[in-house]
Amino acid sequence: MSSIKDVASLAGVAVGTVSRVINNIGSVKPHTRDKVLAAIEQLNYVPNEVARNFKMQKSKMVALLLPSIWHPFFSELAYYIEDELDRYGFKLMLCNSGGKPEKELYYLDMLLQNKVAGVVGITYNHIENNVSADIPIVSIDRHFAKAITCVTSDNFDGGRIAFRELLKAGAKKPAFLGSRPEVYSETLRRKEGFLHEAVLHRIEPIVYEGPDPCLDDEGFYRTFLERFPEADGLFAITDMAAAKYIETAKSFGKRVPADVKVIGYDGIQDHPYFHPVLSTIRQPVEEMARTAVTLLLKKIEGEAVEQETYRIPVRFRPGETT
């Protein structure tokens, strides 16, 4: 991690000048200030004073970064995070990033300026250089190269359960329908668990993936149905993907569950897409949300947390699609 001396050296100024810029005290020429700020940005420098002051944090606002608030899983997560924060006298500031990294970076900058006490976030963007383990951040599903605490469901076990349930329902040619984000996410373990269980059963499953975890492209599902008409069991990476598959499959004359058994992942049963009621791997959304807040509040108080990744068990919730 860069030091204040590194910033001073890069900017060609004295350490005291850097300190005056950081603390916004004393007189510094505009040109010199610009050089110092440019050096801070280039080195991704986080002043030690900021890290030390988090213990004395006076802000009672926590930022929640979400890719899309319209998605039922994210909405449910936000509800329980806000409820848990309220119990401890904190308020929620919602950032519906729409997948835009510049919006996420804006809220991270607010954290560095002590305008919010901490951040809980889901991001699929490359913002590694702007995230530090020294400040109060808890990630949902996403792993960073640095030691950022991550709260997630047991995606690997969820994939294993889904495979077993498809076989139990009578599927002979099970398939995984998913998406691959640009950055590593715990959600990828859903496929890993599915394939692990397939090996144990000595079955070669179908695997079909798209590039974007938030993409809802009808052409993607049509292509799958055209290429793999033999698939009689489907595990979709999310409930929304499962629902869209079912909707598209109808136009191909496929009946669910008579012709193909379908299992999703999330457990967002209240969404109007779900007719029939979807069989799914239910994420413990409330427990994930409250755990994330508990860990974040510990970080805000300067306390250590016991581990880097918290994986919470999932369960199969049968519906009408298997």
Instruction: State the Cα–Cα distance between residues 110 and 22, nearest whole angstrom.
Output: 15
What's the pLDDT score for residue 242? 92
Instruction: State the Cα–Cα distance between residues 288 and 163, nearest whole angstrom.
Output: 24
* CATH class as words, domain 57-153+286-312: alpha beta
Structure-token match 């969820």, residue found: 158
Instruction: State the Cα–Cα distance between residues 306 and 316, nearest whole angstrom.
Output: 28
Instruction: State the Cα–Cα distance between residues 69 and 238, nearest whole angstrom.
Output: 16
Instruction: State the Cα–Cα distance between residues 199 and 65, nearest whole angstrom.
Output: 37
Tell me which CATH code domain 155-283 carries.
3.40.50.2300
Residues of the chain with CATH 1.10.260.40: 4-45
Residues of the chain with CATH 3.40.50.2300: 57-153+286-312, 155-283
Longest dimension (CA), the chain: 76
What's the pLDDT score for residue 213? 44
What's the pLDDT score for residue 72? 80
Q: pLDDT below 50 — which residues of the chain? A: 53-57, 213
- The third-level CATH classification (topology) of the domain covering 4-45 is 434 Repressor (Amino-terminal Domain) (1.10.260)
What's the pLDDT score for residue 98? 66
DSSP string across 48-68: HHHHHHGGG----EEEEEES-
Q: How many CB atoms lie within 10 A of CB 25?
A: 9
Helices of type H across the chain? 4-11, 15-23, 30-43, 48-53, 72-87, 101-112, 155-168, 189-200, 218-227, 239-250, 285-300
Closest to 57 measured CA to CA, from 27, 88, 34? 88
Structure-token match 């938030």, residue found: 214
